[in-house]
Structure 1
Amino acid sequence: MTSTPAKTRLKTSAMIASFADPGQKTAPAPFGHALVAAAEQNPAIVGLTADLGKYTDMHIFAKAFPERFFQMGMAEQLLIGAATGMAQTGLVPFASTYSVFAARRAYDFLCLDAAEPNLNVNIVGGLPGLTTGYGPSHQATEDMAIFRGMPNLTIVDPCDSVDIEQAVPQLAASDGPTYLRLLRGNVPTVLDEYDYTFELGKAKVLRPGNDVVMVSSGLMTMRALSAAKELEKHNVDVSVVHTPTIKPFDAQTVLRELNTDRLALTLENHTVVGGLFETVASAMVQAGVSRQVLPVGLPDEFLHAGALPTLHDRYGLSVDRIVQKVLSAL
């Protein structure tokens, strides 16, 4: 029996690998530090988690404000119920768990306890989309599709540490419940190079381009920007429009960019069913914008387990696959 050469083996850690490229600037635990900063200004902010403080960067808050931190154990419905009760008393809860558990296990509690009375309950979901290789039990590939139909719920899909750091205080100050797709650990810092500021409910054109327009959210904005730089080598000029807020959706900005004759794509770390692609498509139909948009996203299926770099390439989320798709479509 022959063995795989050591240099080609991917360790188990590659299943939860960082999205930072080698040498890329990163910020450690931006959500945890942003929540601490917001809590220093607002004594009503409290933090809760369902036995996942370390894995959602909530442990940073717990260390800074132990008297305002609540460990609810592995009980996501209780987590949401407790957060709702706190919001009813005037507190501003941030409750963290994995996205799959928030969307699949605690939906009814979030919908009827928090969204229907429009309470300021902020759900922080770790491992959104294909950010783990542990298989369907932990891959929240349909979380935005599940949540988009919930009235009053704001959905934010941040690109990097800049988005997260700036989104947290705005979520705390907003009315009604919110859902933040969390990037945790050492999170890349990308948007500081594009004269960008996060505004809840707003899309931003990060770079102009005459040949192609990419509308993206989450970590796929990072990939869109990298693909745009690679495509310059092929004399392809790419515009990137970042849409960190999925709901409410900034259709005005996005449709203004799509209503041209450029090749158009959407890019998302989510199934093509019910996420950014269908949000854009719906907005186009309602506005009477008639043109083709190609989706870059995850397929409508349960995904394999494995190393993240391998999975991202297999399912078309890697920079190389994005570049190939654009070149083949031009």
Structure 2
Amino acid sequence: MIRWREGEITRIRREWPGAVECEAEIPGEGGCRALAYPALVGRPEPGDRVLLNTTALAMGLGTGGYAMVVALPDRLPPDPQGPGHLVKARYTPVQATLQGVDEQDTPHHAELAEADDIAGMPVVVADLHSALPAVLAGLRASAPGARAVYLMTDGGALPGWFSRTVAELRDAGWLAAMVTTGQAFGGDLEAVTVHTGLLAARHVLGADIAVVAQGPGNLGTGTRWGFSGVAAGEAVNAAAVLGGRPVASLRVSDADPRERHRGVSHHSLTAYGRVALAPADVPVPELPGEFGERVRAEAAPLGARHTLVPVDVSGLEAALREAPVRLSTMGRGLDEDLACFLAVAAAGRHAASLL
């Protein structure tokens, strides 16, 4: 459950849109990094007494190794102002009221109430949040002017503000906007489902392409069905039913120490081979050598339902090295797991060919 601690903010380390990274001192335990979302708890300042949730910190989680600021009990933020009846993180202590793009009081409600189609928009689906910059690198290598919107699902982090990757991609002009769907929140637009998120990306934000992936913090149990990435298959279905062009990016690795993720990950084989009932394009990167042959062989069964598309990866490594953010997946960088990032960039390159 929750590990509660009381502490004091000692300094502000850095900030990005929606988040403040601090240092906090916990009596008897020492200092730690703490993360606050000002929209939820107010803006912390040095000297503030804070209530902290140190669960992820104690577990040593890679993407979530912060103490989370739950409250500034001596300086509560003002009551929220403005419209919005959509409640996310529902019935948790931090449930928040937001304006949903598809709710009745939004100026976009009438348009989205009638919208039923995304007009062939390519929708790249990925298992991991770390795939996002690589997809965009592949897209921009062929279509640098394409307007890309990220749909963050709720399989990982719920606050979109947690992602420094999104903030930096936006600052660099690689990403136009973020839509948070389901229980996730903090995007430029809030949507109830992936379906309305896709419709909003197309009709409200004018996206040429959408990328759908969970936020940071993938959850997996080492079982066939017990991982948050099964939602990638459902995203394929959503894109197809709305008249989009689903592009199912493969999770590939020649460096992961876990055999189930070597070659083509079992996550991709389950999500696309079992969960996705609608056909998608599956870009298969033309990687060299025996590993490339392995990837092609392991992806082949997906061809029973989907269209396998061989994609030349020439030039994609250079495109990846130009990314404005550090590429990292499961703690491995570009040089440690190049095949992983090339496979996802290949999906972006293929999506560009559909524009």
Say yes or no: TM over 0.5.
no
- Normalized per residue, the structure richer in strand is 2
- Normalized per residue, the structure richer in helix is 1
Of structures 1 and 2, the larger Rg is shown by 2
Q: TM-score, normalised by structure 2?
A: 0.30
Q: TM-score, normalised by structure 1?
A: 0.32
